[in-house]
Amino acid sequence: MAERAASSASPRGRRRGSPDTRSAILEAARSSFAAHGYAGTTMRAVASAAGVDAALVHHYFGTKDELFLAALQLPVDPRALIGPAVAGPVEEAAERFLGVFLSVWDDPEIQPSLLSFARGMLDPSATRLVSNGLLPVVIEPIGVALGISDPHLRMPLVASQVIGLILMRYVLAVEPLASMPRDRVIATFAPTIQRYLTGDLP
Instruction: Enumerate binding residues for a copy of itself (CB under 8 A).
Output: 119, 122, 124, 127, 130-131, 135, 152-153, 156-157, 159-165, 167-168, 171-177, 184, 187-188, 191-192, 195, 201-202
Of the pair 63, 127, the CB lying nearest a copy of itself is at 127
d(CA 57, CA 54): 5
Report CA-CA distances (Å) from 174 to 39, 77, 86, 100, 155. 36, 27, 30, 21, 25
Angstrom distance (rounded) from CA 41 to CA 32: 6
Cβ contacts of 89 within 8 Å, gap of 6 or more: none
Amino acid at 91: E
DSSP string over 121-158: HHSGGGHHHIIIIIIIIIIHHHHHHHT-S-HHHHHHHH
Q: How far is the CB of 179 from a copy of itself (least distance, A)?
A: 12
Closest separation between CB of residue 154 and a copy of itself, Å?
10
Minimum CB separation of residue 125 from a copy of itself in Å reads 11
| Closer residue to a copy of itself, CB minimum distance, 24 or 185 | 185
- CB closer to a copy of itself, 27 vs 95: 95
Nearer to a copy of itself, 86 or 135 (CB): 135
Separation of alpha carbons 9 and 17, rounded Å: 8
- Look up residue 176 and give its DSSP letter: T
d(CA 29, CA 96): 33
Smallest distance, a copy of itself to C-beta of residue 44, A: 27
CB of 65 to a copy of itself, least distance (A): 19
Q: Which is nearer to a copy of itself, 83 or 164 (CB)?
A: 164
